[in-house]
Amino acid sequence: MPEATVLTGGCLCRRVRYRAGPPLYTVSVCHCESCRRGIGAHAVAWLTVSRASLQFADELPAQYASSAGIFRAHCAACGTAISYYTAARPDEIDLTVGSLDDPGRLAPADHIWMADALPWDRPQDGLPQHPGTRPLP
């Protein structure tokens, strides 16, 4: 588990600013189709924090229900993807590592949903690659 730390981040246009943390688990890079379409990138790195720890400065991100009980949030002005919430994990929320102010501090530990990965998307970083969600610890 990563060391306890408070993280700050926000969107490209800086209307949405947040602080949250510490991360609850290691970072995973998700290759699922839903993330691909929702974010417009072939893969996206996510970290997880407690929902109670996430605080927005002024503007709240816009929310979109991508499936029943699943809400993806992004800046309504510039579109930066900020968070992913599922009612299956009501006390947690996932944040895009790319929206952090210092994303280099949180290197991913694995790749998930590789069954959805595009044919040219074959990570060569040596990290574990799971066909679906990460195995339970």
> In the set 52, 78, 107, 118, which binds Zn ion (CB under 5 A)?
78
Q: Which residues pair with 44 in a beta bridge?
A: 30
Minimum Å distance from CB 88 to Zn ion? 14
Minimum Å distance from CB 119 to Zn ion? 18
> In the set 32, 73, 95, 97, which binds Zn ion (CB under 5 A)?
32
For residues 81 to 110, the per-residue mask of contacts with Zn ion, x marking binding by CB under 5 A and - elsewhere, is: ------------------------------
Interface with Zn ion includes 15 (CB under 5 A)? Answer: yes
Question: With respect to Zn ion, which residue has the nearer C-beta, 4 or 41?
Answer: 41
Interface with Zn ion includes 13 (CB under 5 A)? Answer: yes
Q: How far apart are CA 61 and CA 76, in angstroms?
A: 6
Task: Report CA-CA distances (Å) from 66 to 39, 63, 72, 115.
Answer: 12, 9, 7, 20
Q: What residues have CB less than 8 Å from 109, skipping those under 6 apart?
A: 26, 27, 28, 127, 128
Angle formed at CA 137 by CA 2 and CA 27, multiple of 5 degrees: 35
| Site residues for Zn ion per CB under 5 A | 11, 13, 15, 30, 32, 35, 75, 77-78
